[in-house]
């Protein structure tokens, strides 16, 4: 029998990672165990990860290092498939270590995979914290 693949929304991971609603966290724990056991595949987009990062930062006020750890928990959970997982993992490093907004960090890490070496932006502060890309401010 084929394993069912489903989209897992942000709020599932937030309940699981924060345990702020214990009954829901327990339900997600069971779902994650089903994923681990190969009964279901939980598919996640980078936008879900971005929403997790934003919520843990803005609402829960967690440190960047704590957020990085929790995102890596999601990325490394058996049965959880995150699109662009290597880019997401690298972006969490830039987010935590270079104090770059997660979305900007994701784009910095994504650009080389798309064959792009230059970004045009007015948000030069974050993009210039990583030296792999050329940052241009339009005039």
Q: Are strands 40-44 and 80-82 parallel, antiparallel or unpaired?
A: parallel
Q: Using the predicted structure, report yes or no on whether residue 109 has a pLDDT greater than 80.
A: yes
CA-based radius of gyration for the chain: 17
Report the pLDDT averaged over residues 9-30. 97
Q: Using the predicted structure, report yes or no on whether residue 2 has a pLDDT greater than 80.
A: no
Q: Assess if residue 62 is contained within a domain.
A: yes
pLDDT, tens only, 96-106 = 999 999 999 99
pLDDT, tens only, 43-65 = 999 999 999 999 999 999 999 99
90 confidence band (pLDDT: 50, 70, 90): very high
Say if CB 129 and CB 98 are below 8 A apart: yes
Q: Assess if residue 113 is contained within a domain.
A: no
Q: Assess if residue 65 is contained within a domain.
A: yes
* 3-class secondary-structure state, position 77: coil
Which pTM was predicted? Answer: 0.92
Q: Assess if residue 52 is contained within a domain.
A: yes
Instruction: Give alpha helix (H) positions in the chain.
Output: 10-18, 22-36, 46-58, 64-75, 85-97, 102-113, 124-127
Domains contained in the chain, number: 1
The residue range of the domain holding 46 is 4-83
């Amino acid at each position: 029998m084929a394993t069912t693949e489903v989209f897992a929304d942000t709020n599932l991971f937030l309940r699981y990672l924060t345990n702020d609603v214990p009954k829901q966290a327990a339900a997600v724990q069971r779902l994650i165990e089903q994923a681990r056991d190969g009964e279901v595949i939980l598919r996640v987009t980078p936008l879900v990860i971005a929403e997790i990062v934003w919520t843990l930062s803005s609402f829960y006020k967690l440190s960047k290092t704590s957020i990085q750890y929790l995102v890596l928990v999601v990325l490394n959970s058996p049965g959880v498939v995150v699109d662009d997982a290597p880019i997401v993992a690298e972006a969490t490093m830039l987010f935590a270590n270079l104090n770059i907004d997660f979305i900007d960090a994701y784009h910095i890490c994504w650009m080389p995979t798309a064959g792009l070496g230059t970004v045009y932006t007015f948000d030069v502060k974050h993009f210039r914290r990583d030296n792999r890309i050329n940052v241009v401010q339009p005039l």
